[in-house]
């Protein structure tokens, strides 16, 4: 069976009550070799189980009569059903803020959280950040204080450090496994837009998603997110989101925002191949090659140029575009970023302002209704800001689908968040008002031109 990434994620050490009263967090590596129980005792109360669900009724839609449309968009009719998700989470603030994976609660409407002491609370989803596969929940606590886990520093981790993974694998109950940091800065995992993962051999399995990766001081250093597996179970290759990325999302939630805003570079980056490295006189293929600079962007203002290779960010090495994206993504808007580049064989250092992507033109958000394939879709204008938020690249025209209502025509036919609508019935779509106008009346047919994932598709449907 082909190995695959499984989104979903020790031996327990027993001890007597007398021993428990005298144990403390270990203060040396020698003490760690005796037992991990003190670390577990400190961290375990902060790890929770997350139960999410939704009930929906799928309805048939006449647009499914078109086989080409059905094949491309993958929509299906069907009867009502209940979807459930099981995962883990970590309490990161005593007021009841819980960090978990976005894929654990994606599309869910009801969320409950069970603590290690078996208390259960309803939870509200206060922030979703699918670009990092993170989400923040708020427990409805009625003033109750919760045991929050201390946040560590993932940049201080080294390969070989001992870590514990705490979560609820397969729904069997809270479980602890032990391992080491197998690798750092894994960027080719393909789970999130900010691919920069901690790899560990601590056993993590489906249900561990959102659980804590903990260091020997009982601090959170990562959020378990995925495993590489042939069978769906652990084979010792697990991935965790670094806690320094978690901190940005938690800070946004504490600030009361519903969406994380990150600095914008305003340049397209590509990996440095062996051939490119040789042509530039580099001894090895590392760094992020700038292939295009957006005029008036922070990159342009800093003096970055097409053909520059970014090699360092604030002193940290950059191996590829993903690692640069992570280094920039964990910075707050404001201030500057020191970027080291290789330009025509010479090392240059430049300061890039940490600014948010502009909304030019304004998003002009609107929800479409009526009898069209787009009914139930929320659309926004294409701008650097909306392209950043919705992970859209490689398009310069059209409008973006920012959200889709459940049980709507747009959902039923398989339109997706992030799709860019380029034209309808051969009419070019430049602004959201254009799409609203062309879909306001019933048409004899619908000819849709849509960009998704770097590809453009056109299909014709009956009216």
Quote the tokens at residue 312: 């360092």
Phi–psi pair at 41, nearest 5 degrees:
-60, -35
Residue among 332, 333, 419, 335 at smallest CA distance from 382: 419
Q: What is the dihedral of CA 400, 406, 409, 412, to 10 degrees?
A: 100
Q: What is the DSSP letter of 270?
A: E
DSSP code per residue over 31-100: HHTT-SHHHHHHHGGGEEEEEEEEEE-----GGGG-HHHHHHH-------EEEEEEEEEEEEETTTEEEE
Is the CB of residue 356 less than 8 Å from the CB of residue 333?
A: yes
Q: What is the rounded CA–CA span in Å between residue 210 and residue 98?
A: 10
Distance, CA of 413 to CA of 457 (rounded, Å):
14
H/E stretch holding 447 reads strand 445-452
Active site residues per annotation: 103, 133, 209
> 200 and 179 in contact (C-beta within 8 Å)?
yes
Secondary structure (3-state) at 430: coil
């Amino acid at each position: 069976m082909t190995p695959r990434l499984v989104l979903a994620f020790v031996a327990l050490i027993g001890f007597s009550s007398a021993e428990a009263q005298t144990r403390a967090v270990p203060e040396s590596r020698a003490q760690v070799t005796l037992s991990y129980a003190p670390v577990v005792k400190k961290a375990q109360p902060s790890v929770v189980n997350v139960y999410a669900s939704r009930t929906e009724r799928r309805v048939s839609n006449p647009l499914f009569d078109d086989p080409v449309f059905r094949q491309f968009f993958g929509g299906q009719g069907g009867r009502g059903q209940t979807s459930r998700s099981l995962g883990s989470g970590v309490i990161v603030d005593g007021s009841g803020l819980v960090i978990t994976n976005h894929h654990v609660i994606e599309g869910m409407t009801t969320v409950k959280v069970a603590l290690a002491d078996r208390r259960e609370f309803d939870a509200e989803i206060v922030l979703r950040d699918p670009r990092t596969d993170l989400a923040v929940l708020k427990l409805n606590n009625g003033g109750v204080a919760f045991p929050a886990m201390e946040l560590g520093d993932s940049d201080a981790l080294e390969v070989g450090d001992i870590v514990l993974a705490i979560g609820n694998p397969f729904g069997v109950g809270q479980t602890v496994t032990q391992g080491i940091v197998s690798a750092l800065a894994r960027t080719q995992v393909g789970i999130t837009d900010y691919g920069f993962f901690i790899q560990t051999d601590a056993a993590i399995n489906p249900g561990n998603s959102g659980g804590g990766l903990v260091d020997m001081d009982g601090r959170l250093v990562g959020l378990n997110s995925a495993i590489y597996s042939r069978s769906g179970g652990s084979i010792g290759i697990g991935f965790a989101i670094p806690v320094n990325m978690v901190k940005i999302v938690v800070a946004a939630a504490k600030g009361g925002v519903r969406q994380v805003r990150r600095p914008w570079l305003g340049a397209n980056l590509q990996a440095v191949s062996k051939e490119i490295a040789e042509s530039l006189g580099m001894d090895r293929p590392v760094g992020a090659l700038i292939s295009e600079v957006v005029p008036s962007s922070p990159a342009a203002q800093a003096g970055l140029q097409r053909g520059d290779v970014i090699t360092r960010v604030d002193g940290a090495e950059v191996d590829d575009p993903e690692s640069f994206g992570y280094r920039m993504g964990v910075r707050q808007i404001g201030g500057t970023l020191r970027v080291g580049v290789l330009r025509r064989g010479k090392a240059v250092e430049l300061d890039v302002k940490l600014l948010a992507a502009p909304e030019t033109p304004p998003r002009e958000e609107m929800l479409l209704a009526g009898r069209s394939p787009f009914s139930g879709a929320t659309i926004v204008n294409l701008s650097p800001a909306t392209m950043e938020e919705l992970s859209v690249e490689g398009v310069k025209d059209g409008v973006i689908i920012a959200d889709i209502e459940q049980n709507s025509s747009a959902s039923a036919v398989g339109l997706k968040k992030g799709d860019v609508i380029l034209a309808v019935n051969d009419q070019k779509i430049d602004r959201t008002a254009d799409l609203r106008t062309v879909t306001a009346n019933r048409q004899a047919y619908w000819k849709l031109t849509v960009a998704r994932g770097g590809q453009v598709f056109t299909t014709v449907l009956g009216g």
